[in-house]
Structure 1
Amino acid sequence: MALLKAHPSSGPCLAVLACTSLLTLIGLAGRQGRAGCAEHVRKFLEWPTLRAIHEVRAACTDDGDALAASSDLRSAPWCVNDPDARAWAARYAELRGVNLGGWLLMERWLVGGNAYVNTTCCGRVESPYNGTACSTATSELTLTIELRARGELSKIDVFRDAYVTQGDFALLRARGVNSVRLPIGYWIVDPAVLPRDVGFHQGAGLRHVDDAVRWAGASGLSVVLELHGAPGGQSGAQTTGSQDHAWTPSSFNASASVEILRTLAQRYAAAQNVIALGLVNEPELPVDTLLPFYEKAIRAIREHMPASRVAVVINLFSERGLLAIATDAWRVFNVQLTPARGFANIIFDLHIYYAFLPQQLADTSLATVTGTLVWVQSLLTQVTGRPVFVGEWSLRLPGWGTAVGDEFGALTPSAQNATLQRFATNQIRGISRAARSDVQPRLGGAFWSWNAPVLSAVRGPGCVSGEQAQWGYNVSLNRGWIVPSQWSAPSHVAERDTDSDTEAETETH
């Protein structure tokens, strides 16, 4: 995770943007004689270095304002004529969301290796990973296997019932949030979709999603459902629910993933506050696998959720490059999956993190990362050719042992707080501040995550360590890094919708 979810080991990505080409997409005409913005952006995409960042700033900034959004990027055309997507983007132009991460897919780093986790309802609750000596359970699947062998699967149920409750939704709305992104492991929907699985624990399963949709509606929150862990895995990362270093793209089960999405679409079709459904989180899959899957998944969703109301979300992600929007996959996507062929209301989702910088930026200063680099990324969200929201962002900075982490660690506590306050302000402006020059709306996004990891009382390989509070929205508010009014907007849910029933509620309540 770095910048647009790049990894420290990532090499330079292909400088081919979705739709046509970089220079066609963002235009060649400079503002006030500043020709060359587009060329410098292209160079940055190919090889992100500190020098490239400063060249983009010099070529693309007006009047020295590092957060101005005026440049020749303003001439970028929309690549696809998608009236439903335009209307959806206008309707949800202020997505001020938070991820409920770690709940329905227990990412080990987020809730694992700790003696407890903090909850709104019940104070400190024991993590189901507690007692696994930190390193033995690497993901939810291996945790489940261990707990089943010990006859302690109830730990997962106790955790899920406490980690997110109705009180969390009310508190989020009270603090200005108007949307939640809900990451879901496929086993929550159907644990038997892969018969050869050694077995995830479904527990209450879709009852949790039913509750989340209902509680969100009652609190005036919209919901973005998102398939976070797909059958067979969309990568080998523990964020899929099953860490597997031997994973290959052939393990991904596209047909089963389509059926999971179809089930979600059918079950929540009547829930007016479910505004979007994400196809898969951070896939490390080749184009010839992704595009057929997307096509089938979109068709399955549209059997139940109309394009006039619900967006289908495509996560732009490339494990091997800095910017997913600079890969051939999305150029092909925008050519092949267009409204003319029945694929309306497609929204792009970018994950923007600064915690793990590529090697080329290893010596970047703290001020550059939290200021200029944020501004550069806000420019790049403008060139996808479709409406974009940032499905994941945080205040996490590179950790100890990096130039940025060491510089931050040397600051006084008050200076650290001031730095994080500026970092938050810059990011919020960058992903949600609409400028006159914007062609594509900056819709906002969802902070990752509602609760931050708690430091482990146990030390050892795989234990959560270091400053993790920067991952938590709740902590960020409590410590003053984010002011509630900065990340707030009116409710997306009309009063008449708060009592809407879903098929799921009819079945389970």
Structure 2
Amino acid sequence: MNNSMGIVERINGVNLGNWLVLERWMKPKLFEPSGETDEMWLHRAMEPAELEALLRRHRDTYITEADFRNIAAHGCNLVRIPVPYFVFGDIPGHPGCVEYLDKAFDWAEQTGLGILIDLHTVPGSQNGFDNGGLTGVVRWHHSPRAVAYALEVLTCLAKRYHDREALFGIEVLNEPIDWLTYVMSPSSRQAKDRSEARGSGPIPMAFLKRFYREAYRRLRPVLTEGQIIVFHDGFRLGRWRDWFIREGMQGVMLDTHIYLVVAEQFPLLRMIPERRMMDFYQLFVRWSELRIRLAARYTPVIVGEWCVANNLVNRLGRTGSRRWSDAIYRQVAAIQRKAWDASAGQIYWSYRLRGDSPIAHPDPWDLTHVWHAGWML
């Protein structure tokens, strides 16, 4: 899929979200026994044996070898696998999951898929989202010990998998939050323990560059020449410009995440009448495409998370027919995929959610449903 000169085959991938890093909205039943809202509090609330049994049942069944075969059969060539900082099971109270990542490499090599390992959480959280493991808390960057731990996890992952054929690369950190996103996100004010959240705040660009520089310094000598080091843009795609080039970094990519439903959260956009929403989608996607093209002049860019979910279908509600909803989803998929052609590839979020049947109520976040509904072929 790649060589020392960069990508030679476009990435057409899917995220394996909620497998090794849990997100309550994706499968609420996992959290019902505890009543908690994120993975860290789930771990804290449950008895160790009960927690281990719950996680084992989930991980054994949520993603299997059959899913890898299905992904490959649909023309995908890569899976992005979010992993937690306790992946190696060396943090008391947090069961590890590296054996499942080992299985994923076996399955990927049997089906011809590449794997992008994505460090999705860090101690103290880098974004305060539930996908960062600890809602409302962003204190990781204030702790030299936590930062050093994240770097060590990355190094250990590289050493464990650098000789595996399926390893496409390692993503250093998922969605380190910027100031605007921190201020606008409801999650920033939803910490269960306010004392734990004291001192939380966005990740400064200067800190992020130092962390990325050190991560590259550690990973590049371990990984092979063709394996990619991926850096999330930190919701600041336009600010990186030629920084990676000036730093002398080779074999790197920049990851950006683009969601229509996130853009629609801005208050003024909620006032757009339904008949004009598709016009807004077109403009937003074209603007995103332009930003990708500008950033890609310096460093290859991937759209590492996106989906066809949109609020137009939600706003139509009972007034819209299934045929009308299907048409909207197909159009939204088409305009995005065309725009993402400006990048080195795209990775859908996510392969599976609750595991419900896609027949009655297909979910646009669930790629298995999207395929079944024919929204994206």
Q: 1:106, 1:140 within 8 Å by CA — same for their partners in 2?
A: yes
How far the C-alpha of 1:175 sits from its partner, in A, is 1.3
Measured against aligned partners, the alpha-carbon deviations of 1:471-492 in whole angstroms (never above 9, x if no partner) come to 0100000111111xxxxxxxxx
- In terms of fraction of residues, the more helix-rich structure is 2
1:5 corresponds in structure 2 to none
How far the C-alpha of 1:366 sits from its partner, in A, is 2.5
1:111 corresponds in structure 2 to 27
Q: 1:428, 1:444 within 8 Å by CA — same for their partners in 2?
A: no
Q: Within 5 A, what are the aligned runs for 1:401-420?
A: 405-407=314-316, 410-420=319-329
User: 2: distance between equivalents of 1:414 and 1:108?
Assistant: 30
- Residue 378 (str. 1) matches residue 300 (str. 2): no
How far the C-alpha of 1:248 sits from its partner, in A, is 6.7
Q: 1:96, 1:444 within 8 Å by CA — same for their partners in 2?
A: yes
User: 2: distance between equivalents of 1:256 and 1:348?
Assistant: 23
1:429 corresponds in structure 2 to 338
User: 2: distance between equivalents of 1:259 and 1:224?
Assistant: 18
Structure scoring higher RCO (CA < 8 A, sep ≥ 6) equals: 1
How far the C-alpha of 1:418 sits from its partner, in A, is 0.9
Q: Within 5 A, what are the aligned runs for 1:426-465?
A: 426-432=335-341, 442-453=343-354
2:83 corresponds in structure 1 to 184
Q: Secondary structure at the match of 1:348?
A: strand
Q: 2:362, 2:370 within 8 Å by CA — same for their partners in 1?
A: no
Q: Secondary structure at the match of 2:168?
A: strand
User: 1: distance between equivalents of 2:172 and 2:27?
Assistant: 24
Q: Residues 130, 150 of structure 1: CA spacing in aligned structure 2 closer, same or farther, 3 A cutoff?
A: farther
1:3 corresponds in structure 2 to none
| TM-score, with length taken from structure 1 | 0.62
What runs of 5+ residues in structure 1 fail to find an aligned partner? 1-83, 115-127, 193-197, 319-323, 433-440, 456-466, 484-509
User: 1: distance between equivalents of 2:247 and 2:38?
Assistant: 39
- Residue 159 (str. 1) matches residue 58 (str. 2): yes
Q: Residues 104, 393 of structure 1: CA spacing in aligned structure 2 closer, same or farther, 3 A cutoff?
A: same
Measured against aligned partners, the alpha-carbon deviations of 1:69-121 in whole angstroms (never above 9, x if no partner) come to xxxxxxxxxxxxxxx988212x23x1110000000101111122x3xxxxxxx
Measured against aligned partners, the alpha-carbon deviations of 1:324-380 in whole angstroms (never above 9, x if no partner) come to 2234xx24xx33x43x65421220111010112223322333212443322332222
Q: 1:236, 1:248 within 8 Å by CA — same for their partners in 2?
A: no
Q: 1:235, 1:249 within 8 Å by CA — same for their partners in 2?
A: no
Which letter maps to 2:228? Answer: A
Which letter maps to 1:363? Answer: M
1:325 corresponds in structure 2 to 237
Residue 45 of structure 2: which of 146, 154, 169 is its match?
A: 146
What runs of 5+ residues in structure 2 fail to find an aligned partner? 178-202
User: 2: distance between equivalents of 1:235 and 1:152?
Assistant: 25
2:368 corresponds in structure 1 to 474
Q: Secondary structure at the match of 1:96?
A: strand
Residue 227 of structure 1: which of 119, 125, 142 is its match?
A: 119
2:300 corresponds in structure 1 to 387
User: 1: distance between equivalents of 2:338 and 2:259?
Assistant: 15
Aligned residues: 339
Q: 1:396, 1:468 within 8 Å by CA — same for their partners in 2?
A: no
Measured against aligned partners, the alpha-carbon deviations of 1:271-297 in whole angstroms (never above 9, x if no partner) come to 122111100000021122211111111
Q: Residues 353, 409 of structure 1: CA spacing in aligned structure 2 closer, same or farther, 3 A cutoff?
A: farther
User: 2: distance between equivalents of 1:88 and 1:275?
Assistant: 11
Q: 1:236, 1:244 within 8 Å by CA — same for their partners in 2?
A: yes
Which letter maps to 1:426? Answer: I
Which letter maps to 1:176? Answer: G
User: 2: distance between equivalents of 1:479 and 1:101?
Assistant: 20
Residue 210 of structure 1: which of 102, 105, 114 is its match?
A: 102
Q: Residues 475, 226 of structure 1: CA spacing in aligned structure 2 closer, same or farther, 3 A cutoff?
A: same
Q: 2:126, 2:139 within 8 Å by CA — same for their partners in 1?
A: no
Q: 2:118, 2:170 within 8 Å by CA — same for their partners in 1?
A: yes
Q: Secondary structure at the match of 2:106?
A: helix
- Residue 363 (str. 1) matches residue 242 (str. 2): no
How far the C-alpha of 1:408 sits from its partner, in A, is 6.1
Q: Residues 482, 153 of structure 1: CA spacing in aligned structure 2 closer, same or farther, 3 A cutoff?
A: same
